[in-house]
């Protein structure tokens, strides 16, 4: 980034101008803007982990003749169903007493992030 951002909007504007090392620079600028009790560093790491998870799962889900769009036969409603199901699963896990065997709260939230990202791409492609 050529200049120091003074606000979040300045930071986002700069990101559009120069996206090299965007995540690293974004974290450093956001951390500078809000030093105290910042979640930004870990949040950026979680987003990177979600990207890796999406890539890993994508290998399993994109086999043979099945393509990405095949998973969304009802358009945006397919995403509504997936996101709603994950939110309900998150709620169920959080309200349970004791441990769960599969699909932890963390897993649900990471899936929500990835489904939301896919929904955004679907919407961009189907304007």
Q: What is the pLDDT of residues 29-73, one digit of tens each?
A: 666 655 556 788 899 999 999 999 999 888 888 778 888 889 999
Residues 12-38 have a mean pLDDT of 63
Higher pLDDT, 102 or 3: 102
Residues 12-25 have a mean pLDDT of 62
> Residue 25 to residues 12, 17, 18, 21, 42: CA-CA distances in angstroms?
11, 13, 10, 6, 14
pLDDT of residue 79: 96
pLDDT of residue 17: 62
Instruction: Report the sign of the C-alpha dihedral through residues 106, 108, 110, 113, in that order.
Output: negative
Residues 15-36 have a mean pLDDT of 62
């Amino acid at each position: 980034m050529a200049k120091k951002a003074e606000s979040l909007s300045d930071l986002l504007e700069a990101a559009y101008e120069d996206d090299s090392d965007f995540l690293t620079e974004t974290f450093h600028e956001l951390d500078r803007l809000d030093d105290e009790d910042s979640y930004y560093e870990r949040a950026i790491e979680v987003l990177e982990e979600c990207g890796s998870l999406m890539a890993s799962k994508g290998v399993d889900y994109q086999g043979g003749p099945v393509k990405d769009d095949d998973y969304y036969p009802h358009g945006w409603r397919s995403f509504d169903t997936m996101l709603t199901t994950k939110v309900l699963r998150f709620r169920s896990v959080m309200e349970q007493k004791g441990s769960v065997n599969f699909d932890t709260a963390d897993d649900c939230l990471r899936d929500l992030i990835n489904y939301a990202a896919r929904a955004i791409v679907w919407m961009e492609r189907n304007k």
